[in-house]
Structure 1
Amino acid sequence: MDLTLTIFLLVYLVMGLGTLPGFKVDRTGAAVIGAVAVMATGSISAASAWAAIDYSSLGMLFGLMVVSAAFTVSGFYGWTTQRVAESNVSEPLLLAMLIGASGLMAAFLTNDVVAVAMSPLLISLTLSRGLNPIPFLLGFCFAANAGAAATIIGSPQNMIAAQKLHLSFAGVSKIAALPALIALPMIWAIICFLYRGRWKLTAKPALTAQAAPQATPLAATLPVFSLAETLKAAIIGLSVIGAFIFTDWPRELVALSGAGFLLLSRRISSKDMLGQVDGNLLLLITGLFVVNAALAATGLPQILLGYMTESGIDLGEPLPLFFISAVLSNLVGNNPAVILLVPYLHADSDPNALGAALSLGTHFSSNLIIFGSLAGIIMVERAAAFGLKISFGEFSRAGALVTLATMGFASIWILLT
């Protein structure tokens, strides 16, 4: 048990830090190494390790990644951002439009994909207008995380929770959608207050070589907008969501079927589509399934849950789960936190209420620090490539206010529902 616990702690240390100190091992590498280690040391058998991998969750996640990728390769993300950012409106109104677009797209197309696809264009367009990109990037990032909380397909961790807890699309959104919607004007008001009088760019940043090709208003390196492919993606995407809501068909088969139809195209290469799928994330999740199963076999998690229950902390209640998931997601990351928690959420209470609390807790808290979400990391790294430094302090100065405001409202909402 000591060896299994050591491996587990090392893996989750990397989940929190983002890298293994002294080594060039990232989160995905740590998850894979950890999975191999628990098998090699006999903590879990190869057969049990394979059984621990939730293929239905991975299938659903992969399928929905392809659906989201279709909107990237069709040029929809770039077209949307360009239309919004080139609007002849005031800076606060432009920020409001970007926050609204970000929150809406993240709810149905996943927050990480939206951040990856749209951040380079958002930066180049604001720079071309002489605007300071930082408030727009922060608002866009915070809105993507908040908007993703509204649905079970808004983020990878929500998809995992939905599969493991058998959540209802409508049931979770009935609880989570309002706080997610209210969070958007809160984000706008906080960013406007913090950056009042600082909308304009004071000095032109120095571009890195990798950013230079993208630093034009037209963002020529992005896919050309195709109305036909966007309509195809929209029809299939809406069909998938409809099947989630109105049928009891296996979600992984629904998502994979949608992906199959989208990959069958005469205009867009399947290679380009699959190139947008986050294979590292799928591999990370696979490794964590194995590592977590090895720890569960020791009986330690059950003992800890017993202590928590004796102390009055019940993960079967939405409000405690909301706060615990919020803290844990900032320690080890959103996806690892959910993978760690969901096996122990079998309770007599409404699973949709637990799913909504888990979604709101992991998403709203992720705006506190840069490494609280993949969307935050993406935004900061893309900004750095354009010579724009978003420091830990600047991110958290806005993020702390956003987190306090949104989590405060969400906690009251959960208590009342």
Structure 2
Amino acid sequence: MDLTLLIFLSVYVAMGFGKLPGFKIDRTGSALVGALAMLSIGSISSQAAWNAIDYKTIGLLFGLMIVSGAFAVSGFYGWAAHKVATLNVNPAKLLAVFIMVSGILSSILTNDVVVVAMTPLLVSITLVRGLNPIPFLLGFCFAANAGSVGTLIGSPQNMIAAQALDVSFVELLKVAGLPAIISLFIVWGVICFLFRGKWETKQSASHAHAPMSLPQLNLIETLKASVVTVALVVLFIIDIWPQELVALAAAGILLINRKIASNDVLKEVDGNLILLIMGLFIVNAAMAATGLPQTLLADLKHLGMDLNDPLSLYAVGAALSNIVGNNPTVMLLVPYLDAGADANALCAALALGTGFSSNMVIFGSLAGIVVVEQAKSCGVEISFMDFAKAGFPVSVICLVLAGLWIYLL
């Protein structure tokens, strides 16, 4: 048990720091090594490890990544980013468009993929326009996290929570959709207030990236991906077939193509995230087998902190997200939830708590890390304090309002 606890803690220390201190091993590597270590010392059997992996969640996530990847290879993301960034509007209105587009796309397509695909082009075009890219990138990132909380397909943590609690697409939309919409207005208002008078960049045009031409859009492939996506959402709403089978069927249709190689679409799949989730399933199951988490939760319940109470779950999820990240937080908590009649409220608590709090600091979400790293590669530095100065008030306001919403549920 001591070794199991040590491995478990080491894995989640890596989740928090982004790597295991003293080693060049990232989150995904730590999860995989942790899973292998649990198997090696006998904390979990091979069969139990296979059983611990929720293949429904993996299938759903993989299928939706393929759907989102089809939009990426068709040139849609680049085309959309260029169209948005070149609108002839003032900075505040341009920010509003950034936020609206990010929120909408992230609620339909996986938020991390949207951020990866569009960030570099948004950096380049804002610099060419003589604008400070930081408020626009922060708004885009915050909206991707906040807008995605309202739908089952908006983020990996929503998929994990909904699958575990058996919550449908429509049920999650009913309990989390309105707070997600309101959060986009909060993001816009806070950033406009903080960056008033600071819209322009001090970087001269000669040092900015060269103007980029309108990216080529494959209209036929974009239409095909759009039709499949609409059909997928409709089938999710009707809810007559398992969600993971619908997502995988959609992926299969999009991979069959005479002009675009399936390998090009598969490159858009975040294999590291899928491996991380599989590893954490095994690590968490091995820890659960010790009985220690159940004992700890029983003690917390006596102290008034019951994870099966939506408000308690909301608070714990929000706090943990900024320590180990939103996806690991959801995976850590869902095995100990007893859905019952409160499944919808519990799912909303997880989605809203982990989604809104993840805007507080850079490492609270994969989207935050991606935006900061890609901006840096384009010559734009977003420091920890730059992110937190805007992210903290955005998160706090969204969390307070969402907490009241959870209470009403």
Q: Indicate which of 275, 279, 289 corresponds to 1:287.
A: 279
Return the alpha-carbon distance in structure 2 between the equivalents of residues 380 and 294 of structure 1: 34
Match of 1:176 in 2: 176
One-letter amino acid matched to 2:187: I
User: Deviations along 1:62-82, whole A, 9 cap, x unmatched?
Assistant: 001001111111111111111
Shift of 1:178: 0.7
Identify which of 220, 235, 239 aligns with 1:247.
Answer: 239
Who is 2:193 aligned against?
Answer: 193
Deviation at 1:353, TM superposition (A): 1.4
Deviation string 1:344-388 (CA, Å, 9 cap, x unpaired) is 111333211111110000010000000001110011011111221
Partner of 2:400: 408
Which amino acid counterpart does residue 253 of structure 1 have in structure 2?
L
Aligned residues: 409
Q: Which runs of 4+ in 1 moved over 6 A?
A: none
Deviations 1:74-102 (Å, cap 9, x if unpaired)?
11111111111101100000000000000
Letter in 2 for 1:217: P
Q: Tell me which residue corresponds to 1:217.
A: 211
> What's the offset of the Cα at 1:219?
5.9
Gaps of 5+ in 1: none
Using the TM superposition, give the Cα deviation of residue 206 of structure 1 relative to its aligned residue in structure 2, in angstroms. Answer: 9.8
The residue that corresponds to 2:302 in the other structure is 310
Whether the 8 Å CA contact 1:205–1:388 is kept in 2: the answer is no
- Distance of 2:408 and 2:318 partners within structure 1: 19
Q: In 2, distance between residues paired with 1:242 and 1:291?
A: 35
In 1, the alpha carbon distance for the partners of 2:169 and 2:47 equals 33
Q: Output the aligned Cα RMSD.
A: 1.4
Partner of 2:163: 163
1:54 correspondence with 2:54: yes
Unaligned runs of 5+ in 2: none
**Alpha-carbon distance in 2 for matches of 1:60, 1:347:** 21
**Structure 1 pair 82/51, CA: closer, same or farther in 2 (3 Å)?**
same
1:109 alignment counterpart: 109
| Aligned counterparts of 1:59 and 1:294: Cα–Cα separation in 2 | 22
Query: TM-score with structure 1 length normalisation?
Result: 0.96
Task: Supply the distance in 2 between the matched residues of 1:29 and 1:52 (Cα, whole angstroms).
Answer: 19
User: For residues 112 and 46 of structure 1, what CA distance do their matches in structure 2 show?
Assistant: 32
What do the CA deviations read for 1:216-275 (whole angstroms, capped 9, x no partner)?
43267x6x2111111111111111111111023111111110000000111211111000
CA distance in structure 1 between the aligned counterparts of 2:26 and 2:337, rounded to whole angstroms: 29
**Could you tell me which residue of structure 1 aligns to residue 375 of structure 2?**
383
How far residue 204 of structure 1 moved from its aligned partner, in angstroms, is 3.9
SS of alignment partner, residue 354 of structure 2: helix
Change (3 A) 1:31 1:142: same
1:369 aligns with 2:361: yes
Which digits, 9 at most, give the CA deviation of each residue in 1:98-126, with x for residues without a partner? 00000010001011011000001100110
Asked whether the 8 Å contact 1:206–1:387 carries over to 2, the reply is: no
Secondary structure of residue in 1 paired with 2:341 = coil
Give the SS at the match of 1:149.
Answer: helix
Give the letter for the 2:42 counterpart. G
Which residue does the alignment assign to 2:120? 120
* 2:102–2:144 Cα contact (<8 Å) kept: yes
What corresponds to 1:147 in structure 2?
Answer: 147
Secondary structure of the corresponding residue to residue 367 of structure 1? coil
Does the Cα contact within 8 Å between 2:127 and 2:205 map onto a contact in 1? no
Shift of 1:185: 1.0
CA–CA separation in structure 2 for the residues paired with 1:62 and 1:160: 12
- 1:6 deviates by 0.4
Please give the alpha-carbon distance, in whole angstroms, between the structure 1 residues aligned to 2:349 and 2:213. Answer: 39
Aligned position for 2:203: 203
CA contact (8 A) 2:19 2:27 kept: yes
Q: Pick closer, same or farther for the CA change 1:196–1:36 going to 2, 3 Å.
A: same
Which one of the candidate residues 328, 335, 351 is aligned to 1:336?
Answer: 328
Indicate if the aligned counterparts of 2:84 and 2:97 stay in contact, CA closer than 8 A: yes
Could you give the per-residue CA deviations for residues 268-319 of structure 1, whole angstroms, max 9, x where no partner exists? Answer: 1111100000000000011001100100100011111111211111211211
Quick one: distance in 2 between partners of 1:218 and 1:58? 37
Structure 1 residue 21: Cα displacement = 1.2
Aligned residues of 2:314 and 2:353 also touching (Cα < 8 A) = yes
Does the CA-based 8 Å contact 1:121-1:219 persist in structure 2?
no
Structure 2 partner of 1:231: 223
For residues 385 and 177 of structure 1, what CA distance do their matches in structure 2 show? Answer: 34
Provide TM-score, normalisation by structure 2. 0.97
Distance 1:117 1:206 in 2: 25
Tell me the equivalent position of 2:347: 355
CA contact (8 A) 2:339 2:346 kept: no
